Chains A and B, each alone.
Chain A
Amino acid sequence: MAQHLACNDVSVRFYGTSSLTLRNVSISVQPGEKVLLLGPSGCGKSTLLSVLSGIIPGTIEAEVTGSIIRPASVGVMFQDPDAQFCMLTVGDEIAFSLENRAIPQHEMDARIDTAMKQAGLFVPKDTLIETLSGGMKQRLALACLLALEADVLFLDEPTAQLDPQGRHDIFSLLKSIAASNMTMIFVEHVLDGLIDWMDRVILLDATGSIIGEGTPQDVLRQYAKEIEAAGIWRPRLFPYTMDKVSADPSHPLQIAWRDSLEQSKKRAQAPKQKRLDICNVRDLTISYGKTNVLEHISFDITEGEWTAIVGENGAGKSTLLKALAGLEKGRQGNIYIQNRPIRKWPTAKLYEQVGFVFQNPELQFVTDRVYDEVAFGGRIRKFDESKLSEKTHRLLQEFSLDAHRDAHPFTLSQGQKRRLSVATMLLFEQKLLLLDEPTFGQDEATSTQLLARLMQRKEQGTAIVMVTHDMDIVDRYADRVLWISDGAIRFDGAPYRLFSSEESIPGLTRPLSYEWERRVRNGQHKCPIGTN
Chain B
Amino acid sequence: MNWKMREVVLTVALSLACGVLYLGWSTLWLPISALVGPVGAEIMFGIWVLASPLIAFIIRKPGAALIAEVSAAAVEVFTGSHFGLSSLLIGFCQGLGAELAFFLFRYKKYSLSTLMLSGAFAAIGSMVYSLLANGFGYFTPGVLGATFALRIISGAILGGLLAKLIAESLAKTGTLQQYELMRQRREQQGDTYGSTSGM
| A interface residues (Cβ-Cβ under 8 A, vs B) | 13-16, 57, 59-61, 63-64, 368, 408, 410-411
Write out the residue numbers on chain B whose beta carbons fall within 8 Å of the beta carbon of A16: 174, 177, 182, 186, 191
Q: Measured between alpha carbons, how far is A14 from B197 in the docked complex, in Å? A: 11
Q: How far is the CB of A207 from chain B (nearest CB, A)?
A: 20
B194 interface residue (CB < 8 Å to A):
yes
Given contacts A16-B182, A63-B193, 14 further A-B pairs with CB under 8 A are A14-B177, A15-B183, A15-B186, A15-B191, A16-B174, A16-B177, A16-B191, A59-B4, A59-B6, A61-B197, A368-B172, A408-B173, A410-B172, A410-B173
Q: Does B35 contact A (CB under 8 A)?
A: no
The answer to whether A411 touches B173 (Cβ under 8 A) is: yes
CB-based nearest A residue for B172: A408
A residues in contact with B178, CB < 8 Å: 15, 60-61
Which single member of B5, B173, B182, B183 contacts A59 (CB below 8 Å)?
B5
How many whole Å from A157's CB to the nearest CB in chain B? 20
Size band of the interface chain B makes with A: 20 to 34
Closest residue of chain A to B177 (Cβ to Cβ) is A16
**In the complex, what's the smallest C-beta–C-beta distance from A518 to chain B, in angstroms?**
48
- In the complex, chain B residues whose CB is within 8 Å of the CB of A368: 169, 172
CB contacts between A and B, total, < 8 Å: 40
**Contact of A408 with B174 at beta-carbon distance under 8 Å, contacts A15-B193, A63-B193, A368-B169 already known:** yes
- List the B side residues contacting A15 at CB < 8 Å: 177-178, 182-183, 186, 191, 193-194, 197
The answer to whether B199 has its CB under 8 Å from any CB of chain A is yes
Q: Of all chain A residues, which has the CB nearest B189?
A: A16
Instruction: Flag whether B175 is at the interface (Cβ < 8 A).
Output: yes
Residues of A within 8 A of B175 (CB): 410
For B169, B193, B197, which residue has the most chain A Cβ atoms within 10 angstroms? B193
A16-B182, A408-B172 as given contacts; A61 in contact with B198, CB under 8 Å: yes
- Give the complex CA separation of A382 and B94 in angstroms: 43
Residue of B nearest to A362 (CB): B173
Chain A to chain B contacts (Cβ below 8 Å), 8 pairs:
A13-B193, A15-B177, A57-B198, A59-B4, A59-B6, A61-B178, A61-B197, A410-B172
A88 vs chain B, min Cβ distance (A): 10
Interchain nearest-CB distance for A59 vs B (Å): 6
Task: Specify which chain A residues have a CB less than 8 angstroms from the CB of B174 in the assembled complex.
Answer: 16, 408, 410-411
Nearest-Cβ distance from residue B97 to partner chain A, whole angstroms: 30
Measured between alpha carbons, how far is A15 from B199 in the docked complex, in Å? 13
A86 to chain B, nearest CB (A): 8
State in angstroms the CA–CA spacing of A59 and B7 once bound together.
Answer: 11
Give CA–CA (A205, B173) in the complex, Å: 27
A247 and B147 CA atoms in complex are apart in Å by: 85
Chain A residues with Cβ below 8 Å from B193 are 13, 15, 63
